Copies of this chain bind each other. A is one copy, B any other.
Amino acid sequence: MDFLSLFLADFVKQLQSPTLGFLIGGMLIAALGSELVIPESICSIIVFMLLTKIGLTGGIAIRNSNLTEMVLPILIAALVGVVIVFIARYTLANFPKVKTVDAIATGGLFGAVSGSTMAAALTLLEEQNIPYEAWAGALYPFMDIPALVTAIVVANIYLNKKKNSVAASTTQESLSNQPVTSGNDSDQPNYPNSRQEYLSQKKDVANNRVKIWPIIKESLQGPAVSAMLLGLALGIFTRPESVYKGFYDPAFRGLLSILMLVMGMEAWSRLGELRKVAQWYVVYSIIGPFLHGLIAFGLGMIAHYTMNFSIGGVVVLAVIASSSSDISGPPTLRAGIPSANPSAYIGASTAIGTPVAIGICIPFFIGLAQAIGGK
């Protein structure tokens, strides 16, 4: 009973934190039809500053820390990123009306990490005085990239197999016969420019392999990940403490509050997108963040007991597993799995996955950590 009451009290208290308050505030003013708009360029620079700050924190911490203690959490992060994609492949993909490539892409987005969600979790941990390793934020790309790469590879293997089974009979036809191609289109409604892509995928089929390196490269080159890696590198190789303490660190929470507001407004405005998506995406988007977070939490507890990984660090692992990418992931997936329907995976992620992760999973895992930690 003590566990539950501690957890509930903590849950309510966190809804009053400015971070979640601005998220809920954003939803409310969007619901009330406010004409407030935060300009796109402001959002970009805020994301840049938040991710650079997280990278700098991690880099400075790595410079001053024992690298061996990072190995197990990094392996856990990568493993969880891969597992999340396979969960989507063997659950969501088998639900009625759900297309397999869409399910795999959704799994990739839920395996990938949202920098804003992580930033919110780190801030809440500090507000609750729960210590965590300063390098914990640097676990981000170790889960993000494996998830996106796995999703793209699994999707291409699936498309590859499917094509092989039908290729022999239809290739001739679809090349010579326009009406047949458009017939194909009608049962693949989200497959734009299907002719060209079909041809390019046929080439991949011929090569019989998916190129993994370009996917990794593209993930690393996205604005969010590259800002974080830049911060990481500057933290390790230069002495950025003066700008860190005088600029990036003090601005962090304030900038995050603005971004939370924007995410709240966006979540509200995208609720409509879900009408186009089968109900199973809604089920997946609500259960997924908890399930993924719990797997990471469980694996993190192993590191907690064996390697003295902090309980705060376990929460960070759980939250980045709960989170789904909203900035860097979608363009990578759009390029890597062009036949998947963006309104399915982006809708599921931003309209349900992210609010659930920030608004419910973060307080849930912090509550869990405090209850377990006996604090």
**Within 8 Å of chain B (Cβ to Cβ): is A22?**
yes
Assembled-state Cα–Cα distance A44/B38 (Å): 7
Mark interface residues in A243-265 (1 if CB within 8 Å of B CB, else 0).
11011101101110110010000
Assembled-state Cα–Cα distance A39/B242 (Å): 24
Query: Which residues of B sit under 8 angstroms from A22, Cβ to Cβ?
Result: 234
Given contacts A25-B233, A233-B25, A254-B248, contact A221 B44 (CB under 8 A): no
- Interface residues of A, count at CB 8 A: 54
Q: Is the CB of B41 within 8 A of A226?
A: no
9-residue interface stretch from A27-35, A111-119, A267-275, A300-308: A27-35
Assembled-state Cα–Cα distance A238/B261 (Å): 14
**Within 8 Å of chain B (Cβ to Cβ): is A161?**
no
Query: Which residues of B sit under 8 angstroms from A237, Cβ to Cβ?
Result: 16, 21
Given contacts A221-B32, A227-B36, A237-B21, contact A246 B242 (CB under 8 A): no
> Residue A246 contacts which of B34, B234, B254 (CB distance < 8 angstroms)?
B254
A100 to chain B, nearest CB (A): 29
Assembled-state Cα–Cα distance A230/B234 (Å): 34
Beta-carbon contacts under 8 Å, A133-161 to B: none
Mark interface residues in A77-96 (1 if CB within 8 Å of B CB, else 0).
00000000000000000000
**Within 8 Å of chain B (Cβ to Cβ): is A42?**
yes
Q: Which of A35, A36, A37, A234 has the most CB of B within 10 A?
A: A36
Q: Is the CB of A34 within 8 A of B234?
A: no
**Within 8 Å of chain B (Cβ to Cβ): is A338?**
no
Q: Is the CB of A34 within 8 A of B257?
A: no
Mark interface residues in A208-246 (1 if CB within 8 Å of B CB, else 0).
000000000100111100110110011001111011101
Mark interface residues in A6-34 (1 if CB within 8 Å of B CB, else 0).
00000000011110011001001100111
**Within 8 Å of chain B (Cβ to Cβ): is A45?**
yes
> Residue A253 contacts which of B42, B226, B230, B243 (CB distance < 8 angstroms)?
B243
Given contacts A247-B251, A253-B247, contact A34 B242 (CB under 8 A): no
Q: Is the CB of B44 within 8 A of A39?
A: yes
**Within 8 Å of chain B (Cβ to Cβ): is A127?**
yes
> Residue A18 contacts which of B36, B217, B233, B238 (CB distance < 8 angstroms)?
B238
In the complex, given contacts A16-B237, A243-B253, what are 5 additional A-B residue pairs having Cβ atoms less than 8 angstroms apart?
A16-B238, A16-B239, A17-B239, A36-B230, A45-B258
Q: Could you list 19 examples of A-B contacts with CB < 8 Å?
A: A15-B238, A16-B237, A16-B238, A16-B239, A17-B238, A22-B234, A29-B230, A33-B217, A34-B221, A35-B221, A35-B223, A35-B226, A37-B223, A42-B42, A45-B258, A243-B253, A243-B254, A247-B255, A251-B254
